[in-house]
Structure 1
Amino acid sequence: MAIVLGSHQYGKAETRLVRIVRDTPRHEIVDLNVTTALRGDFAAAYLEGDQSAVLPTDTQKNSAYVWARTHPVDPIEDWGLSLARHFVADIDPVEGARIEIERFGWSRVEVDGDEHDHTWVRSGQGVRTAAITVDATGEHVVQGLKDLVILKSTGSAFKDFLTDEYTTLAPTDDRVMATSLVARWRVSGDLGGVDWNGMYEGVKRVMIERFANLHSLALQQTLWHMARAALEAYPQIAEMRLTAPNKHHFVVDFSRFGVDNAGEVFHADDRPYGLIEATVTRDDAPAAGDAWRFSAGLA
């Protein structure tokens, strides 16, 4: 029985990159965390320590910095596609490249009622993500978000579930439902014509609206309807994957104190937690190829 080297890649993880656009007195900021990974026949590096085909990870970091200066970084998906194409087209041993990006939000400070031209505060409605793959199978973009904390104080039930001798959870018709959502959606078709910023904001909006207006019988049901709403709104989306930890809120028992608690004071328990995951796809969606593979965790 032989022992062989399997799939492999290497790259530079989490290059922190901030681009300030100073073309006008009103500056713009794009704040990124970039991970690059290159694929090809790098077996000699692993098996023999031969680095002759290896572009250093430090060079990958520098390439990301230079690309941020010489290419528009907004939208991040187009910027990532351009950087991935560079690695594949210009570096001979490289057969595939993956660029994973987190974009952190900033909001302008207001001074005397007007937005300031060059001062911001960090904003907190989740982190935008993108994972771009360019290789022999084509070009793939997985757009997404993470750490979107969302809560509804009513309109959620959980009852009629399977029980056994170890079940202690009481059924309820009314509970707080909260999660920190991770959502990723694979875009197919002509990537050159996609309004990436519009798609991101639109998908986030329709998912939040569906979370709010659905009377939920389970977090599983809510995820299905959120993803379905996004796919209905955006035909370019072939597939969506969602991960949602159930951020439990338990009513505090005040009975020993003779005080009423009609669902108003809760203990927010961070662990253990239920973890709900789902994939929702079109039945005629083109194959994913390498879009979801070799991930560093963003997609």
Structure 2
Amino acid sequence: MFVLGPNRYGKAETRVVRVTKHGDAHHIKDLNVSTALSGDMTEVHLSGDNGAVLPTDTQKNTVYAFAKKHGVGAAEDFALLLARHFVDSQPAVRHARVAIEEYAWERRGGQSFVRSGRETRTCVAHYDGERSWVVSGLTDLVVLNTTNSEFWGFARDEYTTLQETHDRILATAVTATWRHSGLSDWDKSYEKARQALLAAFADTYSLSLQQTLYAMGSRVLTDCPEICEVRLALPNKHHFLVDLSPFGLENDGEVFYAADRPYGLIEGTVAREDAPPAGPAWE
């Protein structure tokens, strides 16, 4: 005998660009939306009966229709709106997960924009018919300190060749997600959390990337009381001094080779002592 385990289905990466026009001043919201639904889906798996299945094409169309009907404000609000619609309108659906990536554009005139080089804003909203919960975040926030970073005193074995350093470049591409204690002013909260991450990275004299991770998570919790937990993934974007001695040149920490792989990957969570259990919020 076999038993069907947890399952879900949906439409991944629906790209929608919503233009809002206020006279000659236009505004853009550029989103990548992924929906996933779960519930009473046993028969479609066991017998192929599609009676409980809302087509993924319908989910895609709903994203476009809601962008027109309701507009797009904060990504978190749009994700919650979609999640509640799918659960409340479909008897077989018990849980909806809506994940959004948002791409920033910078205004260059009333109707002219340039794609921003900023990070990608992210959010994941869940709704189960009674409760809703949201995780916000960002990815590809690339930061670099040219000094104030060391790495020494580490464990060694017979395969260790890395030399200790008391002055190095520290660079990473931050992926951060944070869990809210409740509903929030999403845009304001996002900017506060982003600034906290940047400030902590810049202000921390780093003896390890782990130390920097903890400082960044702690700063977010200090500056953002509405956030109860932060998860961070920091790839160490290594910069190695180039040996210029064959050319009769000294390299006093001025010329580096930026290696893309392999790289160290440092991950961790910083939470308030009284943070409620995460449950399925991070899924």
Shift of 1:124: 1.2
Q: One-letter code of the match for 1:248?
A: H
For residue 280 of structure 2, give the secondary structure of its aligned residue in structure 1.
Answer: coil
Q: Which residue of 1 aligns with 2:73?
A: 74
For residue 12 of structure 2, give the secondary structure of its aligned residue in structure 1.
Answer: strand
User: CA-to-partner distance for each residue in 1:231-264, whole Å, 9 max, x for gaps?
Assistant: 1111221211110110000000111221011011
8 A Cα contact 2:87 2:129, kept in partner: no
Shift of 1:209: 0.8
Scaled by the length of structure 2, the TM-score of the pair is 0.98
User: CA-to-partner distance for each residue in 1:3-34, whole Å, 9 max, x for gaps?
Assistant: 21110000000000000001322000000000
8 A Cα contact 1:140 1:290, kept in partner: no
For residue 290 of structure 1, give the secondary structure of its aligned residue in structure 2.
Answer: helix
8 A Cα contact 2:230 2:269, kept in partner: yes
For residue 27 of structure 1, give the secondary structure of its aligned residue in structure 2.
Answer: strand
1:56 aligned to 2:55? yes
Q: Which residue of 1 aligns with 2:39?
A: 40
8 A Cα contact 1:187 1:236, kept in partner: yes
Q: Which residue of 1 aligns with 2:152?
A: 159
CA RMSD, Structure 1 to Structure 2 (Å): 1.0
Q: Distance in 1 between matches of 2:37 and 2:181?
A: 22
Q: Distance in 2 between matches of 1:253 and 1:290?
A: 50
Q: Which residue of 1 aligns with 2:125?
A: 132
Q: Which residue of 2 aligns with 1:188?
A: 181
8 A Cα contact 2:9 2:37, kept in partner: yes
Q: Which residue of 1 aligns with 2:235?
A: 245
Shift of 1:136: 5.0
8 A Cα contact 2:16 2:32, kept in partner: yes
For residue 157 of structure 1, give the secondary structure of its aligned residue in structure 2.
Answer: coil
Scaled by the length of structure 1, the TM-score of the pair is 0.93
Shift of 1:291: 1.1
Shift of 1:108: 1.1
8 A Cα contact 2:18 2:71, kept in partner: no
Q: Distance in 1 between matches of 2:40 and 2:281?
A: 20
Q: Distance in 1 between matches of 2:192 and 2:126?
A: 23
Q: Which residue of 2 aligns with 1:113?
A: none
% identity of equivalent residues? 52
Q: Distance in 1 between matches of 2:179 and 2:134?
A: 6
Q: Distance in 2 between matches of 1:188 and 1:90?
A: 27
Q: Which residue of 2 aligns with 1:141?
A: 134
Shift of 1:137: 6.4
The count of residues paired between Structure 1 and Structure 2 equals 283
Q: One-letter code of the match for 1:19?
A: R
Shift of 1:287: 1.9
Q: One-letter code of the match for 1:281?
A: A
Q: Distance in 2 between matches of 1:283 and 1:254?
A: 50
8 A Cα contact 1:185 1:240, kept in partner: yes
User: CA-to-partner distance for each residue in 1:27-46, whole Å, 9 max, x for gaps?
Assistant: 00000000001110101111
User: CA-to-partner distance for each residue in 1:203-228, whole Å, 9 max, x for gaps?
Assistant: 11111011001100000000100000
Q: Distance in 1 between matches of 2:181 and 2:28?
A: 29
Moved over 4 A (4+): none
Q: Which residue of 1 aligns with 2:106?
A: 107
Q: Which residue of 2 aligns with 1:207?
A: 197
8 A Cα contact 1:179 1:244, kept in partner: yes
* Unmatched 5+ stretches in structure 1: 110-115, 294-299
